[in-house]
Structure 1
Amino acid sequence: MAERRDPASSQGEPAAPAADMYPRKILEYMEGFLISKTVFTSCELGVFDVLLAAERPLSAEEISQAVGASVDGTQRLLGACTGLQLLNTQWDDGQAFYSNTEQSRVFLTRSSPLSLYQSIQYSSRTIYLCWHYLTDAVRSGRNQYEKAFGVSSKDLFQALYRSDEEMVKFMHLMNSIWNICGKDVVTALDLTPFEVVCDLGGCSGALAKQCTLAYPKCTVTIFDLPKVVRVSREHFVSAADQRIGFCEGDFFKDSLPAADLFILARILHDWTDERCIELLCRIYKACKPGGGVLLVEALLNEDGSGPLTAQLYSLNMLVQTEGRERTGAQYAALLASSGFTNIQHRLTGKIYDAVLGHKET
């Protein structure tokens, strides 16, 4: 007997979905921004700091009074944080008392050396606003500073550092990221042979510190814009960091100091391929024979399958910069086009990975 076919299927129309199909993942993705804003708001109000200072579980009423918020709103926020496993809840005589989880204590309190608080603030007050215009960015292929903040992005870093306050926020963001990921990226490949290091766009100096900790014989010069160097000296790099120095300049325009190794951490992903090659060629000329350049970036899989974080970061580069995230092979091609050879890359298993190119002796 011939098999009976659904008329819709024979006409190329999709078959009806199973009756019990449920779009769990899609609903989770739709609600993703709700989770982000719950974390952002909890940090902004200081919920995790209040619980750290109290050194005991607190009720919603106590927390609301400490952060200056309504009891009802605080209860709902605390409930969501509990659901997100950012808070522990214990009950006493029918009343809930809240305390930080270990992750929250380490990463969400302002005083922790591994705090992501400043990074969260930047995400909430800058990146989140740019992402409101993601559709426009996809359509136009351009960043969205003008729509989000009313500033021109003709000069990318004039837009990024559009005020001293915004510049300091960005520097805190970079500081918190390298406090967590810096050791992994500077030790992913052996940098022992390179004793004179220049960190281009070194910002707060957090990666430079990780480099000096990992390699006791190296010295690091942070090369950055004059106003960034001023803030870094005042707020981030102390006199105790004796093996870290500074050089002021624009790495596209000014002379680069000679070095054994140049570090470009989260730099090339800001720029087009043409601008990347322009910068890498300038570095090649300044690099000592036998030296190299270390790229620190979130690498995409060669087949484009992920990682999801790097794919999302590439969208973020669209709304915020002129650049994109790339694969290891794409960065290798940029390095090779600029004269570098013996190119290696290593995945760290965390957000950022390492690519190392060498200049022949």
Structure 2
Amino acid sequence: MAVAKEDIYPKKLLEYMEGFMVSKTLFVACELGLFDHLHASQRPLTAEEVAQELGMSTDGTERLLSACAGLQLLITHSDEKGQVVYSNTEMSTTFLTKSSPRSLYHSIEYNSNTIYLCWCYLADAIREGRNQYEKAFGISSKDLFQALYRSEEELVKFMQLMNSIWNVCGRDVITAFNLSEFRSICDLGGCSGALAQQCVSIYPTCKVTIFDLPRVVRVCRDHFLPEENQRILFHEGDFFKDALPEADLYILARILHDWTDERCLELLNKVYQACRPGGGVLVIESLLYEDNSGPLSAQLYTLNMLVQTEGRERKVSEYTHLLNTAGFWDTHTQLTGTHYHSILARK
């Protein structure tokens, strides 16, 4: 009986076991400014040139550049002197340089400096069934967002994370449904305002109110939306404690996955009461398959929700149940081809 090669050489298991090496290589390359420097140089560089210009060891730099080439983040070829030179791929220039409008740099930075540390305590999170901020950072997570926003620097980093995600995926989730009928939109937990900007850009007749905590609104105005936009408004408050502004459509983008079912229903009930008749709610989340078989991205995200929050990723049926219980009906889901999808329900 023939033996499959996978049975005698566990290639996939080895890839999984060493997966953290891939992540950390990407994290460090971004942290050291590798892709920004290669982009700014406007010509391929040798490892020695990169090392000298960034103040790093030639040996370490060569190893890092080679690994990035193996990950298809860099292109290599030989110059006229026969030296190996390196340049960015188109993907790296688009998503890994700070100056790119679609940069994931800040998302990578947050994964490296915050999420990576929480995942060191994944086993504890699974045993205890709760997030691990106290072990990772020595702070109480009794108030989830006090832990997430534990300093001004950490708040800005979190907002940069969300900004980078919606700069890449925002248009897809906002255009999954035609939202042109909704003139007044309230983005609950609107954070950096990236989705609000997508809305007013795509739908010229709408106005968007960003509803978020006072300190988040202040940072948004100072760092992310400094210019006056007559169609983007701000409303300071805590959506669990304070009254919500009346609107035709409420956006809940990566909000419900932070919370338990009970807290989700509490929020959705408030949204239903505030929503104008005929209006609706747009839920934007990563979605699990109904049979628990995938997708892997959502399965990993739900583990991340365990180590970082009170919530979890859910299936379409679970979000539909929450929405229907709160009074919403006519629920439809659109998959976008990205990690995040859109669910629209009506009042």
Q: Which of the five TM-score ranges fits, normalised by the shorter chain?
A: over 0.9
Match of 2:54 in 1: 67
Q: What is the SS of the residue equivalent to 2:230?
A: coil
CA deviation after TM superposition for structure 1 residue 151, in Å: 0.5
For the 8 Å contact 1:60–1:75, the answer to whether it is kept is yes
Kindly report structure 1 stretches of 4+ aligned residues shifted beyond 3 Å. Answer: 16-20
Match of 2:27 in 1: 40
CA–CA distance in structure 2, aligned partners of residues 135 and 200 of structure 1? 33
Q: What is the SS of the residue equivalent to 2:208?
A: strand
CA deviation after TM superposition for structure 1 residue 90, in Å: 1.1
Which among 291, 303, 308 is matched to residue 291 of structure 2? 303
Q: What is the SS of the residue equivalent to 2:343?
A: strand
CA–CA distance in structure 2, aligned partners of residues 264 and 66 of structure 1? 45
Q: What does the per-residue CA deviation read over 1:253-284, in whole Å, with 9 as the maximum and x for residues that have no partner?
A: 00100000000000000000000000000111
Q: What is the SS of the residue equivalent to 1:138?
A: helix
CA deviation after TM superposition for structure 1 residue 239, in Å: 2.5
| 1:84 aligned partner, one-letter code | L
CA deviation after TM superposition for structure 1 residue 242, in Å: 2.5
Give the TM-score normalised by the residue count of structure 2: 0.97
CA deviation after TM superposition for structure 1 residue 121, in Å: 0.3
Q: What is the SS of the residue equivalent to 1:115?
A: coil
For the 8 Å contact 1:209–1:241, the answer to whether it is kept is no
CA–CA distance in structure 1, aligned partners of residues 12 and 313 of structure 2? 25
CA–CA distance in structure 1, aligned partners of residues 7 and 229 of structure 2? 62
1:50 aligns with 2:50: no
Change (3 A) 1:214 1:19: closer
The count of aligned residue pairs is 344
Match of 1:4 in 2: none
CA deviation after TM superposition for structure 1 residue 238, in Å: 3.1
Match of 1:267 in 2: 255
Q: What does the per-residue CA deviation read over 1:284-305, in whole Å, with 9 as the maximum and x for residues that have no partner?
A: 1110011111000001111111
Match of 1:338 in 2: 326
Which among 239, 260, 265 is matched to residue 277 of structure 1? 265
Which among 95, 99, 107 is matched to residue 111 of structure 1? 99
Unaligned runs of 5+ in 2: none
1:208 aligns with 2:192: no
For the 8 Å contact 1:269–1:326, the answer to whether it is kept is yes
CA deviation after TM superposition for structure 1 residue 18, in Å: 7.7
| 2:24 aligned partner, one-letter code | K
CA–CA distance in structure 2, aligned partners of residues 45 and 242 of structure 1? 39
Higher mean C-alpha displacement, 316-325 vs 241-250: 241-250
| 1:349 aligned partner, one-letter code | G
| 2:70 aligned partner, one-letter code | G
CA–CA distance in structure 2, aligned partners of residues 199 and 146 of structure 1? 30
CA–CA distance in structure 2, aligned partners of residues 182 and 17 of structure 1? 43
For the 8 Å contact 1:82–1:88, the answer to whether it is kept is yes
CA deviation after TM superposition for structure 1 residue 20, in Å: 6.2
For the 8 Å contact 1:48–1:109, the answer to whether it is kept is yes
CA–CA distance in structure 2, aligned partners of residues 149 and 233 of structure 1? 28
Give the TM-score normalised by the residue count of structure 1: 0.93
Which has more radius of gyration?
Answer: 1
CA deviation after TM superposition for structure 1 residue 189, in Å: 1.2
CA–CA distance in structure 2, aligned partners of residues 110 and 74 of structure 1? 20
CA–CA distance in structure 1, aligned partners of residues 174 and 5 of structure 2? 50
1:169 aligns with 2:169: no
Match of 1:123 in 2: 111
Unaligned runs of 5+ in 1: 1-15
CA deviation after TM superposition for structure 1 residue 19, in Å: 9.7
RMSD between aligned alpha carbons? Answer: 1.3
